[in-house]
């Protein structure tokens, strides 16, 4: 990907935004998006995403739930939003049903939000972002929640962490990425030179990964977490479902790498994982050293995953693992590596519990 400078302008509304290009496209619905317009906020039409976000900020006190409605088409975007004071509040970007694509053109992060707040993205494709600082598609710095509804992150890249999304909060702050409630998200063909081929979440207070039947396909990390790295100095959480195929990690965790002092709870309803790879431990899920907590998996199909140990799951002694209703097959060199001991799920009759005191044993 090519890289280039990103121009910037400042507004007087407590935001700083980058200057991005936008070329409008007419909607199938007559009169919604005139030629040259990228977004609509209330009754206003805007030719850049930056001006639309600034307009939304000025309306927030009168209508806190107002959305930025994006027009159909492909728009070049390298947008920076920096909240002043207490942050930027809640910002909603909704793409058009005819299709809205935000394209970084290999020259920077597509969307950057600095400060505390909530960002909701829906009906969007975010592609071709490149970020030296991590997060080619979305970079969040501060205590933030990113909510996704029918969003695709594709072909984004970072030479360090978080090929598509990187969220970081220091000073005890927390980060979370979550599903809007059934809308779904797709992360495909994203790459990171470090950890988190698609998503990197770092919170000093709390870090949470809450997918909702999300698709994680062919993402690659040079380090840990082929698709996702979830790491906190305090607590981590993971709730939901995902489908993962063909993700790769140059270190541990072919799909998900988790490290945190403790877990407030990690409950996965269904995981379908096929042909994922880790050069280190945990072909699908790695619960790493220095952490403790409980992981529960209640259904899924986990096949053909490969790691140096624990083709499906690898966990250290501080973690407990409870699995039921899940089919394991052709994972190499074995299905589960727990506290240095190797187990195959068929010997555990498909439902098992792994604890520090007893290792892994049948739970039926």
Residues 6+ apart with CB under 8 A from 43: none
* Per-position DSSP letters for 176-220, written without gaps between them: EEEESSS--EEEES-EESSS-SSEEEEESSEEEEE-SSEEEES-E
Cα–Cα distance, 168 to 191 (Å, whole number)? 18
**DSSP label at residue 257:** E
213-254 pLDDT tens trace? 999 999 999 999 999 999 987 889 999 999 999 999 999 999
The pLDDT of residue 43 is above 50: yes
For 349, residues 6+ apart whose C-beta sits below 8 A from its C-beta are 362, 364
Q: What pLDDT sits at residue 129? A: 97
Tokens coding 279:
């050069």
Instruction: Judge contact between 118 and 149, C-beta under 8 A.
Output: no
Buried b / exposed e over 80-118, threshold 16 CB at 10 Å, is: bbbbeeebbbbbbbbbbebebbbbbbbbbbbbbbbbbbb
- Residue 275's region, left for phi above 0, alpha for psi from -120 to 50, else beta, is left
- Angle at the Cα of 263 (from 302 to 251), degrees rounded to 5? 50
Give this prediction's pTM: 0.90
- Stretch 141-161: mean pLDDT: 97
Confidence of residue 85 (pLDDT cuts 50, 70, 90): low
How does pLDDT run across 156-185, given as a tens digit for each residue? 999 999 999 999 998 889 999 999 987 799
pLDDT digits (tens, 9 = 90+) for 30-39: 446 888 788 8
Q: Bigger pLDDT: 33 or 101?
A: 101
Tell me if 96 sits within 8 A of 33, measured CB to CB. yes
More confident: 42 or 160? 160
CA distances from 17 to 9, 90, 156, 293 (A): 6, 16, 21, 40
């Amino acid at each position: 990907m090519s890289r280039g400078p990103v121009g910037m302008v400042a507004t007087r509304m407590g935001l700083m935004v980058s200057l991005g290009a936008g070329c409008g496209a007419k909607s199938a619905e007559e009169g919604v998006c005139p030629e040259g317009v990228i977004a609509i906020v209330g009754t206003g039409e805007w030719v850049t995403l930056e001006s639309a976000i600034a307009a939304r900020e000025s309306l927030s006190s009168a209508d806190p739930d107002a959305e930025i409605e994006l027009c159909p088409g492909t728009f070049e975007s390298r947008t920076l939003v920096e909240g002043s004071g207490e942050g930027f509040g809640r910002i909603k970007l909704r793409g058009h049903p005819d299709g809205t694509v935000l394209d970084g053109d290999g020259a920077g992060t597509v969307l950057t939000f600095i400060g505390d707040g909530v960002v909701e993205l829906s009906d969007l494709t975010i592609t071709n972002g490149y970020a030296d600082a991590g997060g080619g598609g979305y970079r969040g710095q501060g205590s933030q929640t990113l909510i996704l509804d029918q969003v695709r992150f594709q072909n984004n890249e970072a030479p360090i962490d978080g090929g598509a999304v990187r969220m970081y909060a220091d000073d005890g702050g927390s980060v979370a990425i979550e599903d809007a409630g059934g809308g779904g998200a797709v992360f495909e063909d994203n790459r990171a030179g470090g950890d988190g081929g698609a998503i990197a979440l770092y919170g000093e207070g709390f870090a949470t990964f809450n997918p909702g039947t999300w698709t994680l396909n062919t993402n690659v990390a040079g380090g840990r977490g082929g698709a996702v790295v979830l790491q906190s100095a305090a607590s981590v959480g993971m709730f939901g479902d995902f489908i993962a195929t063909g993700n790769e990690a140059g270190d541990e965790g072919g799909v998900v790498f988790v490290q945190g002092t403790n877990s407030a709870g990690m409950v996965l309803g269904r995981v379908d994982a096929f042909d994922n790879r880790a050069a280190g431990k945990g072909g699908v899920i790695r619960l790493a050293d220095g952490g403790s907590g409980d992981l529960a998996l209640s259904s899924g199909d986990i096949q053909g995953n490969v790691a140096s140990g624990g083709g499906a799951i690898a966990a250290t002694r501080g973690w407990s693992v409870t699995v039921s209703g899940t089919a394991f097959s052709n994972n190499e060199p074995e299905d589960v590596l727990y506290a240095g001991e190797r187990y195959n799920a068929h010997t555990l009759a498909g439902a098992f519990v792994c604890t520090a005191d007893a290792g892994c044993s049948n739970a039926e």
